[in-house]
Chains A and B, each alone.
Chain A
Amino acid sequence: MVQRFDFNRVRQFVKRDLILLRGTFSTGIFVAIILVFLFCLFNMMWDKQLGLEEFYGIFALVYLPLGLLFTFSLFREFGNPKTNALYLALPVSSLERLVAKWLVSTLVYTIVFSVVALLIAILALIFGIVLFGADFNVPTLFSTSYINIVAIYLFVQPVFMVGAMSFSKNKIGKTLLSLGIALLCFLLLNFLLYAMFNHSLGVFAEDGLGSVAFGKASTQFSIFGQWFYGLIFGPLMLVVAYFKMVEKEV
């Protein structure tokens, strides 16, 4: 049975999520405001300036963990046995549900967080100028550093989305544990591949080369590797999340 994808249902579902989670969302943003403000202010205490890279560091430090926590709270209704029957019985297709969740946890969250972080950084900068005589250096979001941070979030977030849908208890801990185990496996895979392809060069013939191989394996970022891991941690996890949604029983 082919189901028609309806953007209007997605829009209504996004609205529904935002209304249901407005408490969580506003608390999260409030926490973000305080953290970004304090980090920016403390940063200016030492060198009397808030450099762009420093701002992006603070941005990433708050944006990434809060976004992942927000992802978990978005799937609370899906995972709770007392709410998921009503949730899954709503006339919305699995793809529409997933697109709505993804839009809220990435697009809406990123836009809101970026604007808030920028405004708070400017506010902190004004405080810094008044309190410490800091340099006036307006932070901006139009840079590759910002795009890189958002890209990392976009690739990591689906993993946590799958974690939020897969585990019923201790979701965050179990997701981190699974991620850690997966990373170890990939490290080992990289090491084996490195050993296989470089065996003829006798890399293990001398002392210490094994650890060199491990070192190289952990920082293997060939074009093939980037695509391989990019696909695993991004789009593939979204596909997994889709099938988790389709196959969910209450």
Chain B
Amino acid sequence: MLTANNLYFNYPTSRPVLKAINLELKPGNIYGLFGKNGEGKSTLIKIMTGLLFPKAGNCTFKGKPTQKRGPELLQDIFLIPEEFELPSVSIKAFEYINSVFYPSFSKEQFYGLLEEFQLQPRQLISTLSFGQKKKVLIAFGIATNTQLLLMDEPTNGLDIPSKSQFRKVMASSVDEGKCIVVSTHQVRDLHSLINHVMILNNAQVIFDHSLDQVTQALWFGRASNQEEVIYSEGAFGGKSLLQRTDQDESEVDLELLFNGVLHETQKINQLIDKKGHGSKV
């Protein structure tokens, strides 16, 4: 669906933000794009939408370069940016003026999601809090029913109940034809939502595996034998990341996985690749 080939990017007079990025996004998946602050997650998302142009390499969506920003392409891509400002109109007017550009837009779904988020269509967007504005945009983005939905730090500005509301809404919105990319540095917010993890570090993708592959190769829990531990966070109750051998499948601890990958990139990637299931989802 979306492919990045040997992508390079840097802002004027700055170090490279992205180096030799190779990615392939496939429909039916919810990708979690993780990375520390300033690692290029937002930049990558903007390149995927065609809002930034790669310095080298290319990014294509359905075989066409995204930087052309063709309407036929953008009808199937929706971006929820981290920072945004919505116009001073009612939610209903916002839907009215923007939905016409998306052929698969579902008004029923949009107003259903607004209800879920406890927002009224007649409310003026300018009177809403940032979190509520984000909910309007999330509802709109889901209702566009684009094949690719890109979300940059969608949980920023949401309170705790809204974060679980977000997860619930997202889980019910994904189908086989859609691909969702959620970029965040708050790894825990995506618990039980994503099925594929991508991690950016030092301007490169250092980890790109499905959660199935992760659970096949790794085990999360308390280690009985410290020698088997790949990575451990002693300060947080001693939860560790181990190579899975004969243990039952464990629930993936995204935060532990993220920190583990940052510390033991090569070892973890080798373990997953060695497990032989190799086929990346």
Contacts and interface: CB of A to CB of B under 8 A. Distances in A.
B52 A249 contact: yes
B97 A83 contact: no
Interface residues of A, number: 28
B64 A19 contact: no
Interface stretch (B73-81, B241-249, B255-263): B73-81
B52 A89 contact: no
Contact of A12 (B73, B84, B86, B101): B101
A201 interface: no
A5 to B, nearest CB: 10
Q: How large is the interface on B (under 10, 10 to 19, 20 to 34, 35 or more residues)?
A: 20 to 34
B31 interface: no
Contact of A85 (B51, B73, B77, B101): B51
A161 B153 CA distance: 34
A20 B81 contact: no
Interface stretch (A92-100, A162-170, A186-194, A211-219): A92-100
A3 B51 contact: no
Given A93-B71, A250-B46, 13 more contacts: A15-B97, A19-B93, A23-B88, A81-B83, A82-B84, A83-B87, A89-B49, A89-B78, A91-B71, A91-B74, A91-B75, A249-B52, A250-B52
Nearest to A15: B97
B97 A19 contact: yes
A90 B98 contact: yes
Contacts of A86: 79, 81, 84, 86
The 4 A-B residue pairs with the shortest CB-CB distance in the complex, in nearest-first order: A91-B74, A82-B85, A91-B71, A91-B75
Contacts of A82: 83-85
A81 B84 CA distance: 8
B87 A20 contact: yes
A6 interface: yes
Contacts of B101: 9, 12, 90-92
A89 B72 contact: no
A81 B151 CA distance: 17
B51 A80 contact: no
B71 A85 contact: no
B74 A89 contact: yes
Contacts of B177: none
B51 A88 contact: yes
A23 B87 CA distance: 11
A23 B113 CA distance: 29
A20 B51 contact: no
A249 B79 CA distance: 15
A4 B96 CA distance: 24
Interface of A: 1, 3-4, 6, 9, 12, 15-16, 19-20, 23, 77, 80-83, 85-86, 88-94, 96, 249-250
A165 to B, nearest CB: 15
Nearest to A250: B51
Given A92-B101, A249-B53, A9 B71 contact: yes
A91 B79 contact: no
B70 interface: yes
Contacts of B83: 81-82
Nearest to A93: B71
B72 A3 contact: yes
Contacts of A12: 100-101
20 contacts: A1-B64, A15-B97, A16-B97, A19-B89, A19-B96, A20-B89, A23-B88, A82-B83, A85-B46, A85-B79, A86-B84, A86-B86, A89-B49, A89-B50, A89-B74, A91-B72, A91-B101, A93-B69, A93-B70, A96-B71
B275 interface: no
B78 A92 contact: no
B280 interface: no
B68 interface: yes
Interface in B30-76: 46, 49-53, 64-65, 68-75
A20 B74 contact: no
Nearest to B52: A249
Contacts of B117: none
A250 B49 CA distance: 11
Interface string B87-111: 1110001001110111000000000
Given A90-B98, A92-B101, A6 B71 contact: yes
A250 B47 CA distance: 10
Contacts of B50: 88-89
A80 B84 CA distance: 10
A12 B75 CA distance: 15
Contacts of B89: 19-20
A3 B70 contact: yes
